Structure 1
Amino acid sequence: MKGFLQFIVRSMSATSATALTWLISFFAFEQTIWLAGLYGILGGGAVYISMKQIMDFRHRKQNGLSRREYKFIEQNLKEAKEKITRLNRALRSVRSLGQAKQNFETMMTVRKIYANTKKDPKRFYKAERFYYEHLDSLVALTEKYAYLSEQPSRTKEINQSLRDTRHTLAIMNETVKKDLHIMLNDDLDILDFELDVAKQSIDKRKKPDRRALK
């Protein structure tokens, strides 16, 4: 959501810059309509690119990442997004009520891992196995299962392969859940600590003041 809002801000700023540059070029410098339009496009493009670089720099600074690390993670997220789209397409093509709940859980977990990484790029390093291994396996297995389940005539071998794939997908569903838990482990530790502090504070308030009782 934040990325979409930033895109809207950049687009509106670039549009305003384009219009302003065109007006100045056409009226102040008496350029032709087409030449003023070209200057306007160049000006708007420059504003858009500059704002994106500034926003990326601030995002990197907030997350303590170098430019190289940020680009590396961005590239991996771009590839992951394409794989998640393929996974979603394959899951939608599996029309099985028995698989519906598991498919929904899998998709929600995968999207949550991606969204958390997008929001806080440093989390990528806690979910490397997901991005390098588990997501690829999940996509390949799901596409295989979707393909076999669409066959109009099924042999014993196909049915056995479907059963084996279903079993493996169930295991992968639990695996990506563990990936999410690992990613959120530090947050859970902080939450537990804050809960302990809050409980201690509440207990102290409940205890009567001995000096007041004397």
Structure 2
Amino acid sequence: MRDIGSVVLFSIFAAFIAFFIFDSGDGADNGMSGTYNEQSYESLPEEPTRGEIEDSLDGQSYTSVETMIEETFPQLDTVQTDRGRSEIYMTSEYNLREVEELIVEEVKPEDTGDRQGDKQALIYPDNFVILKESEEEAGLILIELAEKEFVQNNYSPSFFEGMLAYALLNQAFGTNDWRSTQRDRCDNGGCYGGYSMYGGNSGSFRGSSTRGGGPSVGK
């Protein structure tokens, strides 16, 4: 009887420890969650051909960049935080420069950043459009349609160095010194450094419960 009682007590103790470990791991999200699970990217969403995309845009007159992107490109993921929301779209039919030109031609932004290699940013009245070459999938362009609140509260200032002047970012966010304020926030908990399909670097931000849709941490 003593041996049976010991086994029962040990089993209860082991279950408690396992619950505590897994429950603690979920607490590192800092309010960020995604919509896709671990199997999300075994196959990417189906995408119209280049010709089909151009035919669908022919004769259109968009006044909203949100509508233009939603109706043109397949959605890959959603990143939701308690400080804003970001929708992730994708295309393998165009390179980064072509995607930029396609979007700007349809809906002119308030400001356009200087393209920095594999990334670009466009500022609209209510959103940022951040274009980025996928680090995981060759030839895939990620199109992040992010609320200004999301960019202001989650992005690392270093992401925009050489691309957008801080005066433009201050104007977009209605602040006097966003760079300094955000750097202090980043030092205390890590910041977002652009969407990464499979989780990116280790840190406090991720886009879903596993690898699908995880944003990388800013450097």
Decide: shared fold, TM above 0.5: no
Higher helix share: 1
**TM-score, scaled relative to structure 1:** 0.27
**TM-score, scaled relative to structure 2:** 0.27
